[in-house]
Amino acid sequence: MAMEKLSVLGSGTMGHSIALSASIAGFQVKVWGTSIEDIERGQRDLQGKLEVLAVEDFISESEIKEIQYRIEFMTSMEECINDATFIIEAVPENLKLKQDLYKELDQQCGIDVILASNTSGLSPTEIAASMVHPERMVVTHFWNPGHLIPLVEVVRGEKTSDITVNRALALLTAMKKKPIEVKRDILGSIVNRLQYALFREAQYILELGAATAEDIDTAVRYSIGRRLPVTGPFMTADMGGLDVFDDISSYLFQDLSSAQVSLGKMRVLVDEGKYGQKNGRGFYEWTPEFSNKLNKQREKELIRWLKQDLLDHKKSPVI
């Protein structure tokens, strides 16, 4: 398959990060920003990410200019999409905004152009509701930070074609990502459902007074957090014995939280306007020093894993 001509709509947190991931893999990418200010912000953030990658020896200093050269920012959406064969949209999570955008793209782009959304939670079926050709619309959900997290969820809408899904999977594989197909349009796809199931139970344990937020975080980091990079839930169950997991499920499932909304302590924090890192206080106190330390620590660890992924791929390229 010929290399897709890729355009990214949106130069914000996810947009420029997706473009960076594609450029590192050798793709020429056009990126549309809504204004000069948005583009300048995206370029600054892109430069910062490249510098961190160089410091961590993931790329060389000489490769930085090559990667930047392959990414072209512009304020004209028409110019951005004029020769694209695959468009990834990363605009704000507003259904009406996306529906209007996809209706416009559907009219402007040839029917062979794939239209993909980076939405983390909106339904591809609903996004494509006003399209004449909804079969070429699909979700490609990158995980933040998009250039460091390998997984991309490829989510079908009710009318998404096999050709669209296969082209998305092929593009993402060429970008050195780990794409998976979500065969049904389900709320939250896969990882958000799993992530929020864990978060709900963490809140419940905190409400019970069984442990502090810090100790619950520590428990996850130093137990299943260490094991999950190697074995997911089904493989873990196989290795532990399905008979054992079945026995434990029979009594533990009954005692797990079934809350339909956020629990008390979480609700209080939100009502008090304490949103976490973004404004300095949540379950933790986020001083500038603490925030900078944690973000650097996370980025360094993700780059370490990405290096290992690439090493494993070179050893076993067929996997």
Parse the chain into domains and list their residue ranges. 6-182, 191-286
Residue 55 has pLDDT above 90, yes or no: yes
CATH number of 6-182: 3.40.50.720
User: Average pLDDT of 97-115?
Assistant: 97
pLDDT of 318 > 60? The answer is no
pLDDT at 314 over 90: no
Strand ranges, E, within 157-254: 178-182
The pLDDT, as a whole number, for residue 316 is 66
Residue 253 reports pLDDT greater than 50: yes
Average pLDDT over residues 5-25: 97
177-226 tens-digit pLDDT: 999 999 999 999 999 999 999 999 999 999 999 999 999 999 999 999 99
Confidence category of residue 104, pLDDT binned at 50, 70, 90: very high
In angstroms, the CA 296 to CA 207 distance is 31
Rounded Cα distance, 156 and 292, in Å: 37
Class of the domain covering 191-286: mainly alpha
The residue-averaged pLDDT of 255-284 equals 97
User: Identity (one letter) of the amino acid at 209?
Assistant: G
Q: Which residue has the tokens 């490249």?
A: 50
Count of alpha carbons within 13 angstroms of residue 23, beta-carbon side: 26
pTM: predicted TM-score of the whole model, two decimal places: 0.92
Among residues 76, 89, 124, 67, which one has the least CA distance to residue 6? Answer: 89
Number of C-beta neighbours around residue 62 at 10 A: 8
Mean pLDDT, residues 130-142:
98
DSSP 31-68: EE-SSHHHHHHHHHHHHHHHHHHHHTTSS-HHHHHHHH
3-state secondary structure of 285: strand
Which of 141, 161, 153 has the alpha carbon at shortest distance from 179? Answer: 153
Which pLDDT value is given to residue 177? 96
Same CATH fold assignment for domains 6-182 and 191-286: no
69-78 pLDDT, tens digit per residue, is 999 999 999 9
What pLDDT is stored for residue 317 in this prediction? 54
**pLDDT-derived band at 10, boundaries 50, 70, 90:** very high
